Chain A
């Protein structure tokens, strides 16, 4: 695997960020006062967050608190009603289509339900981003796709259709696709949901390896406290669109807020 941010041959990389400063390292991801509303419901409420490059931020919170919406803002699938989303110093709202595509190529995204393309095989799903965005030869693309599937324990699923996979297998195939371009930033929505504890542990190991070996920036939405403990440099607890608590696992477990403590206790017990 290439170091994160080293794009495979043929992939365009974004030009130098507009707000790069010599003193402070530019956060891989920064949200500044992001607010998002769906009708009368405020899902993200003046959210501010900065994630340094090469670190892992685990986003926790009860269902419906805007965790997946947060990830979709980071990759530009949703636009905030107020505030800014910056990826490697570039404000997504100021990018044209081509620039946004170049920025998205720096990111991998695992959707909550995997979102595999169900009209093509699992192997084709993983090969898809490479076919679209690299100059790799066909045999090389297929080799890499097999390797990515092997890394998530799905080497035998290359020729299967997504519809024939279990939920956990779909999730892993989705992760393999997200890893296809060796992205510098990986956004992962509940990677261990639906997986048995052993497989969940293997996925955690894989993600941890990306962070330590390839300096990949990770944003992981999870309810699994052992995963968060293992992966997270920082944990962020979202509630009603706001950051209710942040810090490491111990800090959240010792939080002044009863909801955070209760969540950590119950999720820790089930996780």
Chain B
């Protein structure tokens, strides 16, 4: 071990501690009044509504590609009838939530980090405080709540887009009608599966927004710091989403044994 190694470990642990405290405060401010309804709504539009084109088109593309690959494999076993149900389960259970979260870790996470960091380096955060506004509540809690609301909705869009994409692929290859395809695609998707998968994206939303705001508020060094905060936010949020997903999948199996 070099001399710098213990220092790095200490810094890493300090970062984890700071982020945990940050997340704790964000969680508390989500439930503790007063609420910033107007700013939260603005953020739902900014972070959620404006992500619709990205998620919609990505879902469509993912659905087409997955359908083509699945068909190619299943055809070998004469199981083409399972293309639509397989795609439905794959999308709703894991692919949709994870891809949506990773895409939004880029768009939302970087956006939040860059905006908050820019406000920090131009003293706008101080200006909020100087006008007797709780900057944490105004900047962090509102964005975290907006992401918690937006992620499940956007994941639903991702899933729907994927299934439509799968249908388009099937339509081109076999001429399957939409109603028949939808019936097959949802044949193995029940309410428990859908809810458990989509709700876990609320956790992803919390992590993505909290990471972005954390990186933004802790940035230093002017415009260079803004770029660094955005990059770090994307990396940290993506890793967190993937790592926490492992825990959440296990948790879902414990809470909903019928899904195993």
Q: Which residues of chain A have a CB within 8 Å of any CB of chain B?
A: 72, 75-77, 97, 101-102, 104-105, 107, 109, 111-113, 115-119, 128-129, 132-133, 177
Contacts and interface: CB of A to CB of B under 8 A. Distances in A.
Interface in B129-148: 129-134
B123 interface: yes
A77 B132 contact: no
Contacts, number: 49
A247 B175 CA distance: 90
Contact of A111 (B118, B123, B132, B133): B123
Contact of B132 (A101, A116, A119, A177): A101
B132 A104 contact: yes
A132 B126 CA distance: 16
Interface of B: 115, 118-119, 122-124, 126-134
Given A77-B130, A111-B126, A119-B115, 17 more contacts: A101-B132, A104-B129, A107-B130, A109-B127, A111-B123, A111-B130, A112-B123, A115-B122, A115-B124, A116-B124, A117-B127, A117-B128, A118-B124, A132-B131, A132-B133, A133-B131, A177-B131
A128 B131 contact: yes
B132 A117 contact: no
B127 A111 contact: yes
Contacts of A72: 126
Contact of B123 (A105, A107, A115, A132): A115
15 contacts: A72-B126, A76-B129, A77-B126, A77-B129, A97-B134, A101-B134, A104-B130, A111-B127, A115-B124, A116-B127, A117-B128, A118-B118, A118-B124, A129-B131, A133-B131
A227 B70 CA distance: 76
B160 to A, nearest CB: 31
A151 B131 CA distance: 20
Contacts of B133: 132
A115 B132 contact: no
B129 A115 contact: no
B129 A113 contact: no
Top 9 nearest A-B pairs (CB, nearest first) are A115-B127, A115-B123, A101-B132, A109-B130, A104-B132, A129-B131, A105-B132, A111-B123, A77-B126
